[in-house]
Structure 1
Amino acid sequence: MTLHAPPADAAPLRLLILGDSLSAGYGLAQADGFQAQLAAALKARGHDVSLLDGSVSGDTTAGGRARLDWALDGGADAAIVELGGNDGLRGIDPRATEANLAAILDTLRARRVKVLLSGMLAPPNLGDDYGRAFHAVFDRLGQRPGILYDPFFLQDVAGDPALNQADRIHPNPEGVRRLVARLLPLVERLLAEVPPS
């Protein structure tokens, strides 16, 4: 889904958002969701970018892996990978999460798509051992050559009632604004790595 129309005489960069409900804007009006707010922030900074909506609420890393080829059908220059929260909520074996994310990154690399990987933390009720093993998946994959890495998508927003919806999981419009403001420099760095066409 293209969130804003590029000028007729330009070829906008195509940025895929491969994620779950956090980037799909669960519980929010479209204009308040992550993708719409990111698109607006990029436009305000003078970037000509077409956002490709590859986010599905409730999706796991396995789901993202299964639909990646479809999401890339129209091509992409760069991608933000925001998956794993539902793996953690379901207590999925971190080894399976890592295999799925590694396959996603391998596919994107093969397609010469620049990647920003945003990590996730497991719910504390699953215990310290699981939490460490889960987050270590993202830390390892984030060290891959050519990957931009953001350790925690919900940094400075998770756990703050003023920045989250009533479910205490999904950011409210102000929480999303904070996420976008924090991630914008990394997203700009990601776009700068796309070679001229």
Structure 2
Amino acid sequence: MLRPLIALLSLLLLLSGCGEVVTSSTKDARILLMGDSMMAANRAAGRSVAQGIERQLGEEVIDRSVYAARMIYILPISGAAGLSIPAQQQKGNWDWVVMNGGGNDLVFGCICGRCDGMVDRLISADATAGAIPALVSRIRKTGAKVVWAGYLRNPGLFTPIRSCKVYGDELDRRLARLDARDPGMIFLPMSDVVPTGDPSLHQADMVHPSPKGSAAIATRIAAAIRANGG
């Protein structure tokens, strides 16, 4: 189990990049997107989550998401590469910061087994402490609202990280508590997006979203932004 995960991590590190950088030509953008491969998937084809949000809202989204990014970053590679989700935050006049994270911490941090301690490090049971509440609080202090997207599930289908489900479900429950504590933070679960037995919203690896999956995620996020002041 460990060797395939290490090989997968190495491949994802090769695929990782810094994401889109805020420049003088993008300084008026209102939406920043941060996160891991759920957000970064399908970018080269022009069909990532950020690109879907852009099409639906008709405005630019600065996409800083990176494959293999983690909330709790301990590897000796510079966080400036974007592999640290908190390090993806950039200064800007953001009205919205859209993000996800925590999945790679469960996959690579505890191999989706005996991950109770990792979940606690990400977000405590009462949602008052941990890496996720700390990042949300930091962003909220800038005046931006936060949309946190949960992870897709693939009910009725095989997935190589199926043992993560119990911890992913607990992560969702705690994120919902964080949502309840802060009116400027919106948690959007994605656990009900994929119909039972439908493989079309995932790539062949049954982990990353397909273009159809990215579009479904983008639709839910864009709707939440519109419903909360645009």
TM-score interval w.r.t. the shorter chain? 0.7 to 0.9
Structure with the larger strand share: 1
> Given residue 131 of structure 2, which amino acid in structure 1 is its aligned partner?
N
1:73 positional shift: 2.7
> Given residue 24 of structure 1, which amino acid in structure 2 is its aligned partner?
A
> 1:72-91 deviations in whole A, cap 9, x for unaligned?
23442210121122123244
| Cα distance between partner residues in 2 of 1:168 and 1:40 | 26
1:190 positional shift: 4.4
1:13 positional shift: 4.3
What is aligned with 2:4? none
User: Residue 194 of structure 2: SS of its match in structure 1?
Assistant: coil
What is aligned with 2:50? 35
Root-mean-square deviation (CA, aligned residues, Å) is 3.2
What is aligned with 1:171? 209
8 Å CA contact 1:164–1:172 kept in 2: the answer is yes
56, 59, 62: which one pairs with 1:52? 62
Pick which of 138-147 and 16-25 moved more.
138-147
- Runs (4+) of structure 1 exceeding 4 A deviation are 63-67, 121-124
What is aligned with 1:134? 171
1:146 has 2:183 as partner: yes
Pick which of 34-43 and 74-83 moved more.
74-83
User: Residue 185 of structure 1: SS of its match in structure 2?
Assistant: helix
| Cα distance between partner residues in 1 of 2:37 and 2:31 | 18
1:79 has 2:97 as partner: yes
Cα distance, 1:160–1:85 mapped onto 2, change above 3 Å? farther
8 Å CA contact 1:60–1:86 kept in 2: the answer is yes
For structure 1, the residue ranges without an aligned partner over 5 or more in a row are 44-48, 193-197
163, 182, 190: which one pairs with 2:220? 182
> Given residue 139 of structure 2, which amino acid in structure 1 is its aligned partner?
L
8 Å CA contact 1:165–1:171 kept in 2: the answer is yes
8 Å CA contact 1:82–1:119 kept in 2: the answer is yes
Cα distance, 1:190–1:21 mapped onto 2, change above 3 Å? farther
- Please report the TM-score for the alignment, with normalisation by the length of structure 2: 0.65
| Cα distance between partner residues in 1 of 2:209 and 2:198 | 9
For structure 2, the residue ranges without an aligned partner over 5 or more in a row are 1-19, 74-81, 124-129, 154-160
1:54 positional shift: 2.0
1:94 has 2:119 as partner: yes
1:137 positional shift: 2.2
8 Å CA contact 1:155–1:179 kept in 2: the answer is no
| Cα distance between partner residues in 2 of 1:58 and 1:183 | 22
1:187 positional shift: 2.2
8 Å CA contact 2:28–2:93 kept in 1: the answer is no
1:182 positional shift: 2.8
8 Å CA contact 1:17–1:55 kept in 2: the answer is yes
| Cα distance between partner residues in 2 of 1:173 and 1:16 | 20
Cα distance, 1:182–1:66 mapped onto 2, change above 3 Å? closer
Pick which of 133-142 and 164-173 moved more.
133-142
Structure with the larger helix share: 1
User: Residue 106 of structure 2: SS of its match in structure 1?
Assistant: helix
Cα distance, 1:29–1:187 mapped onto 2, change above 3 Å? same
> Given residue 176 of structure 2, which amino acid in structure 1 is its aligned partner?
D
